[in-house]
Amino acid sequence: MTQVVFKDLGLIDYKEAWDYQEMLFDQTVNIKFENRKLPVHQQVKTKNHLLFCEHPHVYTMGKSGKPEHLLVNEEQLRELNANYYTINRGGDITYHGPGQLVGYPILDLDHFFTDIHKYLRYLEEVFIKILADYNLKGERSEGETGVWLDAGQTNARKILALGVRASRWVTMHGWAFNVNTDLSYFDHIVPCGIFGKDVTSLEREIGDKVPMDIIKAKAHKYFEEVFEVELTEQSR
């Protein structure tokens, strides 16, 4: 079974986590690049990683994002105690904050399948399974990544956002799952560049806070099931 090194970073500044991702990503890509020059028996096997974390309030803008989708200025960002970064993942603008489970898989898809669309569907499936544990029907919305409730309806609401980067079939960035998230922070952006659709959280849907440790355990379990891997824990 494919091994994935798992690390829970806890509450961590966005830039610090991004730099750590980049380091793991670059290591993996460089190994693959060097392996191309070597005979098979000398090649080094790449490692796969999965990071869990939460971030202090931060807005991130992906490569296809539009600056006008951030609806506040620098002074208002300071009042919100929020940072803002333009980053190298796909997608538009999103919010990260406490009470949101963020996951960053740094996977060499040559160990799995070389299909980014399939990879995104697998990530969605992890959280569709978690929602089912709470009698919620998580769904995909045609033409839009992520997981929704009542997809295609007038009251459609997004609970999981995805944004990834891949090079040489190595992934980085990942998901944001709203657990006990302060949803008011989404009022200051056009989430994922999608107008007129609501954002929700597990807390809002079931009417009660959910301990983050429970959601982490479920995400850990279902990631192993969906990707058919074994997560090997590594302390921070």
Residue of 58, 34, 60, 59 whose CA lies nearest to 46:
34
Task: Let me know: does 32 contact 56? Beta carbons within 8 Å.
Answer: no
| Alpha carbon distance 219, 177 (integer Å) | 10
**Residue 53 annotated as catalytic:** no
| Count of residues making up the chain | 236
**Cα–Cα distance between 161 and 179 in angstroms, integer?**
12
Considering 192, 199, 215, 231, which one is annotated as catalytic? 192
Distance CA 184, CA 94 (A): 13
Beta-sheet strands, E only, within the chain = 2-11, 49-54, 58-61, 83-86, 93-96, 100-106, 138-141, 144-149, 157-167, 170-178, 198-199, 229-233
Q: Which two tokens stand for residue 1?
A: 């079974």
What are the residue numbers of the active site?
192
